[in-house]
Chain A
Amino acid sequence: AQSVTQLGSHVSVSEGALVLLRCNYSSSVPPYLFWYVQYPNQGLQLLLKYTTGATLVKGINGFEAEFKKSETSFHLTKPSAHMSDAAEYFCAVLKAAGNKLTFGGGTRVLVKP
Chain B
Amino acid sequence: GAGVSQSPSNKVTEKGKDVELRCDPISGHTALYWYRQSLGQGLEFLIYFQGNSAPDKSGLPSDRFSAERTGGSVSTLTIQRTQQEDSAVYLCASSLDRGRENEQFFGPGTRLTVL
The interface of chain A, by Cβ under 8 A from chain B, is 32, 36, 41-46, 49, 51, 90, 92, 94, 96, 98-106
Interface residues of chain B, those whose CB is within 8 Å of chain A, are 4, 31, 33, 35, 42-45, 48, 50, 56, 58-59, 91, 93, 95, 98, 100-101, 103-109
Please report the C-alpha to C-alpha distance between residue A43 and residue B45 in the assembled complex, in whole angstroms: 15
Contact (Cβ within 8 A) B33 A43: no
Q: Is B91 in contact with A43, judged by CB distance below 8 angstroms?
A: yes
Given contacts A43-B107, A46-B104, A99-B31, 15 further A-B contacts (CB under 8 A): A32-B101, A43-B91, A43-B109, A44-B106, A92-B43, A98-B56, A99-B95, A99-B100, A100-B33, A100-B45, A100-B58, A101-B43, A101-B45, A101-B104, A104-B42
* A41 contact set on B, CB distance < 8 A: 108
How far in angstroms is the closest Cβ of chain A from B23?
Answer: 11
| Bound form: Cα–Cα A102–B41 in Å | 12
Give the complex CA separation of A39 and B108 in angstroms.
10
A46 & B103 in contact (Cβ 8 Å cutoff): yes
Contact with A90, one of B4, B43, B58, B101 (Cβ below 8 angstroms):
B43
Q: Across the A-B interface, give the 8 residue pairs with the lowest CB-CB distance, nearest first.
A: A43-B106, A103-B43, A44-B106, A100-B45, A43-B108, A105-B42, A43-B107, A32-B100
**A106 touching B42 by the CB < 8 A rule?**
yes
A100 touches B48 (CB 8 A): yes
For B93, list chain A residues within 8 Å (CB). Answer: 43-44
Question: In the complex, what residues of A have CB within 8 A of residue B31's CB?
Answer: 99
Closest-CB distance, A50 to chain B (whole angstroms):
11
Nearest CB in chain B to that of A45: its residue:
B106
Complex CA distance for A32 and B43, rounded to whole angstroms? 17
Decide: B98 and A99 in contact? CB cutoff 8 A: yes
Can you sample 22 A-B contacts with CB below 8 Å? Answer: A32-B100, A32-B101, A36-B106, A43-B108, A43-B109, A44-B93, A44-B106, A46-B103, A51-B100, A51-B101, A90-B43, A94-B100, A96-B100, A98-B48, A99-B31, A99-B33, A100-B33, A100-B58, A101-B35, A101-B104, A104-B42, A105-B42
